[in-house]
A and B are shown apart, each in its own frame.
Chain A
Amino acid sequence: DAKTTQPTSMDCAEGRAANLPCNHSTISGNEYVYWYRQIHSQGPQYIIHGLKNNETNEMASLIITEDRKSSTLILPHATLRDTAVYYCIALGDTGNQFYFGTGTSLTVIP
């Protein structure tokens, strides 16, 4: 699985869009980009995933660049409950190993 890099921390004003970037320059053709978040000490929670097309669900949108070397998770209207650590990971279908990295700590400010 390809390694990913993310900024250590970000702030976002409540009600504004939160844009979280992720670099995955070594991603291979069959690897999806997944986003998870972890609130306090809970288990990580799935947000969204995509291969090469932009994706949207009830939680967020995922924008993947055409060369697939980077992506952005967008929380359209951030709330205080979105304060969490966000992990971007590249996931293939072998399941042999999986590294989360340290993620981006997002703080939503009132």
Chain B
Amino acid sequence: NAGVTQTPKFRVLKTGQSMTLLCAQDMNHEYMYWYRQDPGMGLRLIHYSVGEGTTAKGEVPDGYNVSRLKKQNFLLGLESAAPSQTSVYFCASRTWGGYTFGSGTRLTVV
């Protein structure tokens, strides 16, 4: 039982490049979330999904898109990366018993 797996763990992008962060969970959870965490700050919700085929905006959605084509996967896309998107990205899935987080993706945009 792997829980929540995020790939990649590290990435450096040039401004304007695009990329997709993958989150996979094997716990059959309905709810999945993408957060970003900047140095010294708390977690801020980017987008979330309450089930396969559904997505919704969180607190800081601008510059990101998401898709939930399969229940176990939640993808976060950056179409045109900006230095302001340098951050650590955490994916989480949730059931009634609470959250399970991935180990994070450290993204640097130069």
Residues of A within 8 A of B (CB): 34, 36, 41-46, 49, 85, 87, 91, 93-103
Q: Which residues on the A side are within 8 Å of B103 (C-beta)?
A: 42-43
Residues 77-110 of B at the A interface (beta carbon under 8 Å): 88, 90, 92, 94, 96-104, 106
Q: Which residues on the A side are within 8 Å of B35 (C-beta)?
A: 100
Interface size class of B (residues with CB under 8 A): 20 to 34
Residues of B within 8 A of A (CB): 4, 30-31, 33, 35, 37, 41-43, 45, 48, 50, 56, 58-59, 88, 90, 92, 94, 96-104, 106
B45 touches A43 (CB 8 A): no
Distance to closest chain A CB from B98 (angstroms): 5
Q: Which residue of A lies closest to B42 (CB)?
A: A102
